[in-house]
Structure 1
Amino acid sequence: MPNVTLWDLPGIGTPKFKARTYLRKMQFKVYDFFIIISSERFKENDIMLAKEIKKRKKLFYFVRSKIDNDIRAEETKKGFNREEILSRIKINCLENLKEIENPKVFLISSENIKAFDFENLIETLMSDLPQHKQYALLQSVPITSRAMLQKKVKIFEKVAWAAALCSGAIAAAPVPGLSVACDASILVVFFTKCFYSFGLDDKSLKKLSERINKPELESFIKSPLVVALAAKSTAKLSLSAVAGGAVLEYLCSLIPGVGNAAAAGISFVSTLTLLKNGLKELENAALMVLKEAGLE
């Protein structure tokens, strides 16, 4: 997502980034929130960093990574209990962070993001961020379950209504051909955003395929819209989709006053219908991928 940027900041306390100058060099004021990551216990510098972030009234979260390694190290031992081990790791993290008031700790594995606290982290961020930033965040994260997909779909349903209203407003303007060109652009932009947000692009599918060891997940997708988006032939597809309604719209726009209002109504309804139908098709394609990946 072009409006979401993740900055991987260098570790604090290294020779190049000494603790006393770190905050100034990193320009902390420009970030919305911070995720402090460790694959072992959280160290003194991590705690110091969290305290300084808190002083600046910024949000911060602790992520204990590579949890899959901890599980594998324990699962051969007698009396192995997965939940007990996870509880023990989290308690250990909280003990190390006892100087921080109510620390938020999440256990995560990039090998299997669904298995642990990834969705819990996203839910927490969603509840902490302002609404417009919630939408940006949710659009950018990978889909790990049907519930995550449904959250994204609900956002795009709201966007579809707004886009259709915009289409109607443009159609009311007495400029021949303007509405058709704008409707085509609205469809292309909307479907492209859904396409990437739902993880249907080649890069996302390849990543998921490698993670679950199931090559060529894209071969299970039969959606003509997904194929068109992947081939970047959406302009042709969108123009053909709006062409039918465009003729009636144009004829209505030739009648002063009432005609413009009718054209606006036709444009709103036809654009909203196309957006909803396309969204449903992309949702079904994403569900198919989830099912094949065992994430449904």
Structure 2
Amino acid sequence: MDCKYLVPENELREMKNFFENRDFAEAMEGVKKCLEDIDQVPLNIAVTGESGSGKSTFINVIRGLNDEEEGSAKTGVVETTMVPLPYLHPHHRNVRYWDLPGIGSPGFKPMDYLQLVKFNQYDFFLIITTERFRECHVLLAQAIKSMGKKFYFLRSKIDSVLKGCRRGRTNCNEDEDILKKIREDCINGLRAGGIENPRVFLLSCLEPEKYDFYLIQKTLEDELPSHKRHIFLLSQPNFFHQAVEQKRKSFLMQIWQWAIVSAMNVTTSQWSGVNSGSTVPYLSSNGDLTLMVNVLKEYKKAFGLDTRSLNQLADTFGKDLEDLRSVIRTSTASQEITLELVFHHLKSQGLTDMGRIVTACVIQFVPQISALANGGVAFGTTYWILSSLLANMAEDAARVLSRALEASD
């Protein structure tokens, strides 16, 4: 069997690069640290704008919550935020969206404002308005830039603007023409205020699958430091097929690291003279199964296949929950992920032979893996099962999203 069909070339290159110039023990510890750091890296996103600009609603939507759900940001036309309020992502507690006090009051002083909201704790700023960007937005952006942080302009409630243009007697007959004029008006106004090359994203929190919602997600992902990119991507709602695919690719690049940890579990138990007691050949007892359960649970939440996420998706697109569930085909996506479920899957697949094949392929490019002895087969087995179930869950997520989007056409 051709190895490239089992392990993608880019993963083999990453493994090879990781093991080069490191001794075996150092490489093993490095893998464990990489996985630990991903779950611990903090991401703080500041959301600011005038009162009534839709800051709180945006924070709820991008976290996959509705305005009435527990943990949602308070919404209303009256400014409800007098101090910076952090809102944690429901699945990734190290990702925080901060609802900052409103700007635009007479005598607004951006440097005083940034000091008040503790400027240095944020990774970047999102500046939101429902109409044209005003002087207060320009002054704030200039102050943010002078202090070495990035900012992005969001024009919210675009759905309302489009409805108004369709009702009015204007020359805007097509939505694309209207959007183009809105974008150009925003950009020209910001340039006139002294902002060079402003980037403006047009959004609707009532129709998040439309306009620039995915574009702002992709832009932020691309411009974040590499160590924060993964956690930001996983925290995004599944409104777009491109996002589902990006999550699959990001998870795929971690699987070899989880497989290394699995192999280390086996090797360590052999060195210590411990009988693993596992009824799955070449896996340690509950260590590897627990690892797989935890990783698969992370996949399920990131792809929005857990009950809470499915409920939210159904509410967002006016779809019946059971209709969304009806297109899910994988047991790990449709059932609670337990040790028993993973064990049954492992036993039913006859994975030991496949584990040997995957390990043999990897050793051709990364010979250091051979030092894991029988743990090398655990490496191949864990790699194969996680990559297979990842592909299945991603396909389920794509089917669910397609069914949800049918209701919005």
Return the alpha-carbon distance in structure 2 between the equivalents of residues 126 and 9 of structure 1: 22
**Partner residue, 2:210:** 115
Aligned counterpart in structure 2 of residue 97 of structure 1, from 190, 194, 214: 190
> Where do 5+ consecutive residues of structure 2 fail to align?
1-91, 277-282, 356-369
Return the alpha-carbon distance in structure 2 between the equivalents of residues 150 and 195 of structure 1: 14
Check whether the contact 1:109–1:116 (CA below 8 A) recurs between aligned residues. yes
Return the alpha-carbon distance in structure 2 between the equivalents of residues 64 and 261 of structure 1: 54
Return the alpha-carbon distance in structure 2 between the equivalents of residues 182 and 56 of structure 1: 47
The 5 A counterparts of 1:65-104 are: 65-77=156-168, 79=171, 80-98=173-191, 99-104=194-199
Task: State the Cα RMSD in Å.
Answer: 2.6
2:99 is the counterpart of 1:4: no
Distance 1:132 1:261, change over 3 A: closer
2:396 is the counterpart of 1:289: no
**Partner residue, 1:162:** 257
Aligned counterpart in structure 2 of residue 179 of structure 1, from 278, 284, 288: 284
Check whether the contact 1:41–1:93 (CA below 8 A) recurs between aligned residues. yes
TM-score with structure 2 length normalisation? 0.63
**Partner residue, 1:139:** 234
Deviation at 1:40, TM superposition (A): 1.3
Return the alpha-carbon distance in structure 2 between the equivalents of residues 18 and 53 of structure 1: 12
Check whether the contact 2:111–2:143 (CA below 8 A) recurs between aligned residues. no
Deviation at 1:114, TM superposition (A): 2.3
Return the alpha-carbon distance in structure 2 between the equivalents of residues 186 and 149 of structure 1: 23
**Partner residue, 1:271:** 382
User: Amino acid of the residue matched to residue 334 of structure 2?
Assistant: V
Return the alpha-carbon distance in structure 1 between the equivalents of residues 213 and 153 of structure 2: 12
Instruction: Give the helix-richer structure, 1 or 2.
Output: 1
Distance 1:240 1:85, change over 3 A: same
Structure 1 window deviating more from structure 2 (1-10 vs 277-286): it is: 1-10
Deviation at 1:162, TM superposition (A): 1.1
Return the alpha-carbon distance in structure 2 between the equivalents of residues 169 and 245 of structure 1: 19
**Partner residue, 2:68:** none
Distance 1:48 1:8, change over 3 A: same
**Partner residue, 1:43:** 134
Distance 1:13 1:76, change over 3 A: closer
Check whether the contact 2:110–2:143 (CA below 8 A) recurs between aligned residues. no
Deviation at 1:156, TM superposition (A): 0.8
**Partner residue, 2:154:** 63
Aligned counterpart in structure 2 of residue 221 of structure 1, from 309, 323, 328: 328
Aligned counterpart in structure 2 of residue 191 of structure 1, from 273, 277, 296: 296
Return the alpha-carbon distance in structure 1 between the equivalents of residues 403 and 104 of structure 2: 44
Return the alpha-carbon distance in structure 2 between the equivalents of residues 200 and 294 of structure 1: 16
Deviations 1:142-162 (A, max 9, x none): 122322211110111111111
- How many residues were matched structurally? 281
Check whether the contact 1:220–1:289 (CA below 8 A) recurs between aligned residues. yes
TM-score with structure 1 length normalisation? 0.86
